[in-house]
Amino acid sequence: MVDNESTLVTIAVLGGTGKEGSGLAMRWALHGYRVIIGSRDAAKATARAAELNAQLGGEYLTGMDNTTAAQQANLVVVSVPYQAHHDTLMGVREHLSGKIVIDVTVPLKPPQVRTVHVPDSKAAALEAQAILGAGVRVVSAFQNVSSEKMGDAQTEVQCDVLVTGDDEGAKDEVIKLVEAAGMRGFDAGPLVNSVAAESLTPVLLYMNKRYGKKGLGIRITGLEA
């Protein structure tokens, strides 16, 4: 479904060549948003966009280097490994003033990715806000959604999304994007609460292995109409 609001928004997914970023990019593109796949390597981004367009059967996505993608976007998604988180943000921060940044990053510490790792900053999203400054509205979301489920744009993702941030309007916009990607989004409080959402990811990874499943997620109960 395409609506007038979505056609006015350009989303850059930095780290969009990865599974999680690619899945979100495809779902938003099919919903009518203009979506840019961002990467440190422009050629890699362009190639990945072409692959996804072939999968979708149309010219939905474009690929650019992270800096150009951030410049052209109204809203930026950071979906990179934690090891690349700091450098990615530093590389684009001058282009993010006044924008919403959705941080999907989880502070995993390989090889022990099934054990919670809490960095000195307490959360990747809090690091992002500190790096980018008060002029950027950082919102944390999508950490608990499996890339296994996200990769097929036609598959229903049975996982709810916890959305945290210090700007109420920004959270509302992100919840709209959660819904556009085919999931339910819930306001889970201020950005500091991203500590809990990020920490759930290694717990889910552990449970995937323990129970021999892929793509376990979370559901919020008790709010049904």
Q: What are phi and psi of 156, to 5 degrees?
A: -70, 130
pLDDT at 152 over 90: no
pLDDT tens digits, 95-128: 999 999 999 999 999 999 999 999 999 999 999 9
Q: How confident is the model at residue 4 (pLDDT cuts 50, 70, 90)?
A: low
Q: Calculate mean pLDDT across residues 72-94.
A: 97
Mean pLDDT in the chain?
Answer: 94
* Stretch (H or E) spanning 208: helix 194-211
What pLDDT, on the 0 to 100 scale, is given for residue 155?
82
Q: Return d(Cα 103, Cα 193) in angstroms, integer.
A: 13
| 84-93, 124-133, 145-154: segment of lowest average pLDDT | 145-154
**100 pairs with which residues across the strands?**
75, 137
The label of the residue with tokens 């809490």 reads 118
- pTM of this prediction? 0.94
Which amino acid is located at 71 in the chain? Q
Which amino acid is located at 159 in the chain? C
Q: How confident is the model at residue 148 (pLDDT cuts 50, 70, 90)?
A: confident
Helix (H, G, I), strand (E, B) or coil at 55: helix
Per-residue tokens: 221: 């109960």
Q: Calculate mean pLDDT across residues 45-62.
A: 96
Helix (H, G, I), strand (E, B) or coil at 35: strand
Per-residue tokens: 166: 């210090």
pLDDT tens digits, 27-52: 999 999 999 999 999 999 999 999 99
pLDDT tens digits, 172-215: 999 999 999 999 999 999 999 999 999 999 999 999 999 999 88
